[in-house]
Structure 1
Amino acid sequence: PKRESKFQPNREPTFRVRGVPNDWDRNKLESFLAERDIAAAPVVQSLAKEFHGRSQAATVFFQNTCQLPLKISLPAYSGQFGEQRILTLDHDFIGITSLFTPPQQDHKVDIIAISGLGGHAFGSFKERDREHMWLRDALPHGMIDESDKHFARIMVYGYESSVPNSDSFQNLEDIATSLHSDLRTLSFDSSFKPIVLIAHSLGGLVAKQVLISLCMSKDKVNRSLKRAIYGIAFFGVPHDGMDISSLIPMAGDGPNRFLLESIGSTNSQVLSIQQREFSKALGGPGESEVVSFYETRLSPTALKDEGGRWSMSGKPAALVSKASATHCRPWEDGPEHICAINRTHSEMVKFSVEDPEYDKVLGRIRSLAQHAITARRSM
């Protein structure tokens, strides 16, 4: 008889735990959570100092359903002004979350990943039905210098971008404004580490919009932030639009329909203007660098079942064409800047352990990071 696999797909979400005291390690946090819900069997998978430095953020997987409250008081700890210290749990990952922070003396570059339309800051980059999340579990160890020291802080940025039943009427500029505000908080004494952005799908359009607004700003911090952003790795970013035909019925006449239509592949004026402005915003050759990855597999489209539930199980389609995904800057058209990923649109940012597709990505992101550091030294 055929042997059954012991692997059981994980359906429980990964939680983010914020407010972890700086003097706690993984074991301390794991014990603290287990004491309050031992049946949940928590496993702390990462613990990193937050960008503000006041506390740490963790990613935690509960092997069984978590019954913990979303806010847990730390009675033995109080803040700078005597306020109560609290651990907060969530699985939305809105805003900036640190996944890995190197020692301060080794920290040379910041890498920030931005998810796409209907995506999730953490889940979009996690292997489907498994726990491997390459930004957390692999990328930090690919960013080591000749002395075997980790030099990159790895973060993810999350924002609300669901398509069905959305009550949001935000547009590209609105989402970019939120990201812009959060990026400003990364400054230390009005200066920034060199920054490399990893952007999937809509996230790339958001990143471009941020660069455009920074380019037009006279504010000192904004100008410093603009100089800090050296490179972007675009994954399936629809510079010339994408196939939204199956998404429009999902949005219906909801307030987010305008956002969807603005990134469609049919004569999007929003994207045309953005592309023209972006070509001047990031900087020329030597000042900046862009790498574009494009999908080479058809993606399932949105389909509504008899119960009124939407799922990505419809007729396969090419959501973002190669031409759209690679229509960026004319001088970056060689194989070192354009690379195929043999995946669907959503799967192109999900990698497994020892994944050959990941090796392609790692090499190019590491190159961006190293060039960002070199460019900073020569400024």
Structure 2
Amino acid sequence: MDLLPAATDVQDCRPQHECWRVQNIPTSWSLTKFLQMLQKKDESLISLEEQCISLYPSYTGSSQTALLSMRPLPQYFQKLDPDDSHVLILEDMPEAGGKRGDVFLSLDCHFRGLTPLNVPVRNNLVDIVAVTGLGGHAIESWQSRQSDQMWLKDFLPCSIPENIRILTYGYNSSLTKPGKRSMVDYRRGFVQVLSNAQSTAEERARPLIFIGHSLGCILIAQALLQAQNNHSDSHILASTRVAFLFGAPHGGQKVDDLVSMVKDFTSSSCSSQQSRRLRLLEHLREDSDFLDDQRERLISIWEQMKIVSFYEKRDTKTVKKNEAGEWERTGEAARLVQGFSSLLYLKQESRYAIDEDHINMVRNAWKATASLGSHHSPDGVQLGLTNTIMFNSPGQQRL
């Protein structure tokens, strides 16, 4: 799910939002205690089991974050609005007879901001940040439709050094739901979140690896440009070592079907929303001046890092309005991002074709990039990460 409103914006037969995020969990809580506290709160959660929960240290280090993968979805979560964040208050009784205290947990399934996907051992030395695209979701966009496995969480941690932290970034990128839609808004929000995650001098010196899909690649590029122009954000550019770019529309992509959908969803009564979204799509259109200018300004930036570019080999169905007035991905198939658009043609760039369409190139990326990984991995897959990043010493990681 990404540049195209595939499963979030358009009709999809697969059940949605079976994974919820719980934040602000005390660092003293074990997975068992967290589960027990949930079950005490609502009887419909009795069916939850520990294997449905992944518990990770938050990127700030001051709390923990849990991912709950639930099928079927318990009644408690069915009652919650999936587009909002919710507060769950639990009463905690500390050990050794301490005073009772309220714990305020945050629940959501939109996954905005940064979400941790692994437990790095010792002090982590490298951060990996994955960025989805327009109409995407920080979890579901990277998740296989066949197995429900999310490769950034379920496979990647097993195939890279244990002191690397993996994060996924989500933002409100739906073309059909309320909210601002502009590249400036997206860029500022992303840079602010990255700065919050690297608040100390030690963290700002930590090497940074980006994994982007479609519009997410453009957002990464925009963040690097802001880091070049603003001294307060310069640490982002200085620490970036590698960018893995999937279906990056450096030269634009096909957007005519999305333009028609936006015009249909947004009437003249909300012309400001429509104009913002149409302007965003025009920025992404093939041969757009915005992308031409960005590509030229980025040349000196890309030269400072390693680039691994992936391009799709299959056409993707476009969106089309059905007889019931619903938009579905049942339109004519097209190559949404052409190979020449996805590549930078720089000497430090490695280029690979993926035998998938634009959407599934990241849903099935673990399988599709099997030949690029280390031979030491059971599946022979590491997305080329350990082959690309060389660690010279704990204090100095360079390519």
Scaled to the shorter chain, the TM-score interval is 0.7 to 0.9
- Show CA shifts across 1:221-271 (max 9, x none): x22222111111000010000011211101116231110111001x20100
- Partner residue, 1:132: 149
Relative to structure 1, the CA distance from residue 66 to residue 330 in structure 2 (aligned partners, 3 Å threshold; closer, same or farther) is same
Gaps of 5+ in 1: 1-7, 145-149
- Partner residue, 1:4: none
- Partner residue, 1:238: 249
Among 348, 356, 381, the residue aligned to 1:343: 356
- Partner residue, 2:25: 20
C-alpha displacement of 1:359: 5.1
CA-based RMSD: 2.6
Contact kept? 1:20, 1:56, Cα under 8 Å: yes
Contact kept? 1:109, 1:373, Cα under 8 Å: no
Contact kept? 1:230, 1:372, Cα under 8 Å: no
Contact kept? 1:99, 1:154, Cα under 8 Å: yes
C-alpha displacement of 1:28: 2.4
**1:177-216 correspondence to structure 2 within 5 Å:** 177-191=188-202, 192=204, 193-216=206-229
- Partner residue, 2:36: 31
Contact kept? 1:46, 1:136, Cα under 8 Å: no
- Partner residue, 2:337: 320
Among 39, 64, 82, the residue aligned to 1:56: 64
C-alpha displacement of 1:129: 5.1
- Show CA shifts across 1:268-302 (max 9, x none): 010011111111224x3xx4111100111110110
- Are 2:170 and 1:158 equivalent residues in the alignment? yes
Contact kept? 1:211, 1:281, Cα under 8 Å: yes
Contact kept? 1:42, 1:61, Cα under 8 Å: no
- Are 2:347 and 1:331 equivalent residues in the alignment? yes
Relative to structure 1, the CA distance from residue 375 to residue 349 in structure 2 (aligned partners, 3 Å threshold; closer, same or farther) is farther
Contact kept? 1:11, 1:129, Cα under 8 Å: no
C-alpha displacement of 1:177: 0.9
For normalisation by structure 2, the TM-score amounts to 0.81
Local SS of the residue matching 2:295: helix
Distance 1:77 1:340 in 2: 55
- Partner residue, 1:247: 258
C-alpha displacement of 1:75: 1.7
For normalisation by structure 1, the TM-score amounts to 0.85
- Show CA shifts across 1:137-185 (max 9, x none): 11111112xxxxx121010000111123x44443222201110000001
User: Aligned partner of 2:353: which letter?
Assistant: A
C-alpha displacement of 1:60: 0.3
Distance 1:143 1:356 in 2: 18
- Are 2:231 and 1:218 equivalent residues in the alignment? yes
User: Aligned partner of 1:50: which letter?
Assistant: S
Local SS of the residue matching 1:331: coil
Distance 2:220 2:157 in 1: 22
C-alpha displacement of 1:27: 2.6
Contact kept? 1:110, 1:195, Cα under 8 Å: yes
Contact kept? 1:12, 1:64, Cα under 8 Å: no
Distance 1:373 1:217 in 2: 29
Local SS of the residue matching 2:298: helix
Distance 2:39 2:121 in 1: 28
Distance 1:61 1:23 in 2: 22
- Partner residue, 1:258: 279
Structure 1 residue runs of 4 or more that deviate by more than 4 Å after TM superposition:
8-12, 371-375
C-alpha displacement of 1:363: 3.8
Once the two structures are aligned, what percentage of the paired residues are identical? 26
- Are 2:110 and 1:92 equivalent residues in the alignment? yes
Local SS of the residue matching 1:130: coil
Contact kept? 1:296, 1:343, Cα under 8 Å: yes
- Are 2:279 and 1:279 equivalent residues in the alignment? no
Distance 2:16 2:395 in 1: 43
- Show CA shifts across 1:186-231 (max 9, x none): 2242232211000000000000000011011223xx2222211111
Local SS of the residue matching 1:355: helix
Contact kept? 1:127, 1:351, Cα under 8 Å: yes
- Are 2:369 and 1:357 equivalent residues in the alignment? yes
Distance 2:389 2:131 in 1: 16
Local SS of the residue matching 2:165: strand
Distance 1:200 1:38 in 2: 40
C-alpha displacement of 1:358: 4.5
- Partner residue, 2:48: 42
C-alpha displacement of 1:10: 5.6
Local SS of the residue matching 1:71: strand
C-alpha displacement of 1:130: 3.5
C-alpha displacement of 1:366: 2.8
C-alpha displacement of 1:86: 1.1
Distance 1:249 1:9 in 2: 24
- Partner residue, 2:183: 172
Distance 1:372 1:197 in 2: 20
Distance 2:102 2:44 in 1: 27
Distance 1:12 1:256 in 2: 24
Local SS of the residue matching 2:364: coil
C-alpha displacement of 1:65: 2.5
